Chains A and B, each alone.
Chain A
Amino acid sequence: MRQSGPGFILIFVLLVIAQMVICNFLNLTPFIMLSILPVMILCLPLRVGQVASMLIAFATGLAVDFFAEGLPGINAASLVPVAFIRLWVIRLVFGNELFARGEDFTTGRSGLGKVVVATLILQGLFLIIYIAIDGAGVRPFWFNALRWLASLLAGTFVSIFVADLLAGGGRKK
């Protein structure tokens, strides 16, 4: 069963705190920027519209910026575009049936593969903006490209577990 209501909000807040902990204490290498924020935005219920999800993304990004990154605005600036295109990506990857039925996707019913594809798209966009702002034009292209690829793979791998927490259940019968 997919999380909803207070349960979803509680897990969402705990995951934001987890992201802060990752940013503060899990600095593996300069080439990996581990972020679970894009998949968290992806897993917001479908009834949360485009504007509302952008506001949630902005607030979430700012919270992480202020309590972890030390560069106010970088996560917010990277996460708002993710929320902006979220519904289009869901429509593209999961199809129109979800919207017609008014159901949220789940890893079980919709298939893990589709969740991974959607996560890859959103995570990729998030990292392009994040790495571009973080580099501020002073880092070489190869470094940014390598960082993007490594972070995308690592972030998507971790995101699978996050997606299972927020949108798990509903196995295919």
Chain B
Amino acid sequence: MPRGKAKVLPALFSIAVFILLEMASLNMLSSDSSVQGLWISRAGHHVMMTLWGSSRSISYYTSLKETNQALAEENVRLRLALEQYRDGEDAESREELSDALIAEYKPQGFTWIPATVIKIGNNSQHNYILLDKGSEDGVTTDCGIITGSGVVGIVEVVGEHYSFALSLKNTDVSVSTRLGIDGTSGPLTWDGIHPSGARLREIPLQNRFSPGDTVYTSGHSSIFPSGIPLGTVGGSRIVDGSTYEIEVNLFQDFSNLRFVTIVKNTGRDELSALERKAAEKGL
């Protein structure tokens, strides 16, 4: 055996044993203590964010064509909206239209932070997204992530320059939604099987809906603004004889997700403080 190889192999073996023993120890810690487990998990996510952040430019360069097309389509949509605004006949109708546009494009009480997807997992039950914006850009945990096609995920861990988010295609993520603009609210989760399939649960039997009805965010949580369209109603079934479970076909295509918007509730600290005070008073 060559001399160099004879030195390298034992060194590699030592490193492998070291990694194995450390992983075993950390795994024991994670499974035994939730505080340490969370810390280790977050540290792991930070490492992942750094690793993937440095390699994103290459993969984006290869898909500039699709990106340009998506941006061009969004440009057309915004131009049409602008034309509609300019064509408003009187001040009153223009104001109404302005309010509608603000409601559509920038709900009050939320700040928007544009971000780019560094990496996205789509092949497991617990998919995640890495974004190129972090605490220095104003991102905090529990910020929502949306696109023009609906909800994408929720920020879970924030680093200085990157964020780790749970994708909507993660069976642990639940979004408060409602059927139609004025419909009943219920939690929506990914069905865990289809790339664009989700389930809306806890819809009372007296509620009427039809296939093709749109499902929107309810705005009942402090994560997402209300009225963001998520998908359309497909089939349904009755669960335990008491509520409907509705299949939802999501608008969002996660396979070519690139540019997203992080929505941050500016009043969440105040809301949390209120909730804490209420809890302290036993309400």
From residue A81, how far is it (CB to closest CB) to chain B in Å?
7
CB <8 Å contact, B17 and A73: no
Tell me whether A54 and B17 are in contact (CB under 8 A): yes
Which residues of chain B are within 8 angstroms of A26 by Cβ–Cβ distance? none
A136 touches B39 (CB 8 A): yes
| B residues in contact with A61, CB < 8 Å | 25
8 Å CB contacts to A: which residues of B19-41? 21-22, 24-29, 32-33, 35-36, 38-40
Partner among A54, A71, A81 whose Cβ is within 8 Å of the Cβ of B33: A71
Please report whether the interface of chain B is mostly helix, strand, loop or mixed according to DSSP. Answer: helix
Cβ contact within 8 Å between B25 and A73: yes
- A136 CA to B38 CA in the complex, in Å? 8
Q: Does A77 contact B (CB under 8 A)?
A: yes
User: Which residue of A has the minimal Cβ distance to B13?
Assistant: A51
A84:B18 contact, CB within 8 angstroms: yes
Residues of B within 8 A of A72 (CB): 28-29, 32
- Complex contact A73–B39 (CB within 8 A): no
Instruction: Give A80 to B28 CA distance when docked, in angstroms.
Output: 14
A71 x B25 contact (CB < 8 A): no
With A50-B14, A136-B38 given, is the CB distance from A80 to B33 under 8 Å? no
B42, CB-defined interface residue at 8 Å: yes
Q: How far is the CA of A72 from the CA of B28 in the complex (A)?
A: 6
Least Cβ distance of B249 to chain A in Å?
40
Residue of A nearest to B42 (CB): A137
> Is B29's CB under 8 angstroms from A80's CB?
no
Q: Which residues of B contact A51 (CB under 8 A)?
A: 13-14, 17
A137 in contact with B39 given A72-B32, A73-B28, A76-B28 (CB within 8 Å): yes
Q: How far is the CB of B251 from chain A (nearest CB, A)?
A: 37
Q: A54-93 interface mask toward B, CB cutoff 8 Å, 1 = contact, 0 = none?
A: 1100100110010000011110110011001000000000
- Write out the residue numbers on chain A whose beta carbons fall within 8 Å of the beta carbon of B17: 51, 54-55
Query: What residues of chain A lie closer than 8 Å to B13, measured between beta carbons?
Result: 51
The listed residue with most A CB atoms (<10 A of its CB), out of B25, B35, B39, is: B25
Q: How far is the CA of A61 from the CA of B29 in the complex (A)?
A: 13
A81's contact among B18, B24, B29, B35, by CB below 8 Å, is which?
Answer: B18
Number of interface residues of B (CB under 8 A): 21
A109 to B1, CA, bound (A): 38
**Closest residue on chain B to residue A76 by CB atoms:** B25
A84 to B19, CA, bound (A): 10
B18's partner among A65, A74, A80, A133 (CB-CB below 8 A) is: A80
Contact B21 A80 (CB under 8 A): yes
Residue ID in chain B nearest A138 by CB atoms: B35
A71 touches B29 (CB 8 A): yes
A54 with B21, Cβ < 8 A, contacts A71-B32, A73-B32 known: yes
A137→B45 CA distance, assembly (Å): 14
Question: Which residues in chain B, 239-270, are within 8 Å of chain A measured between CB atoms?
Answer: none
Question: In the docked arrangement, what's the CA distance between A72 and B30, Å?
Answer: 9
Shortest Cβ distance from residue B237 to the other chain A in the assembled complex, whole angstroms? 44
A80 to B24 CA separation, bound complex (whole angstroms):
11
Q: Which of B18, B24, B27, B36 contacts A71 (CB 8 A)?
A: B36
Q: Contact at B21–A76, with CB atoms within 8 Å?
A: yes
Closest to A135 in B: B39
In the bound assembly, the distance between CA atoms of A11 and B216 in angstroms comes to 69
CB B54 to nearest CB in A, in angstroms, measures: 24
* CB pair A136 B28 closer than 8 Å: no
Closest to A65 in B: B28
Within 8 Å CB of A54, what residues of B?
14, 17-18, 21
Enumerate the 3 nearest inter-chain pairs by beta-carbon distance, A residue then B residue, closest first: A73-B28, A77-B25, A136-B39
Chain A interfacial positions (CB closer than 8 Å to B): 50-51, 54-55, 58, 61-62, 65, 71-74, 76-77, 80-81, 84, 133, 136-138
List 6 interface pairs A-B (beta carbons < 8 Å), by A numbering: A71-B32, A72-B32, A77-B25, A80-B18, A80-B25, A81-B18
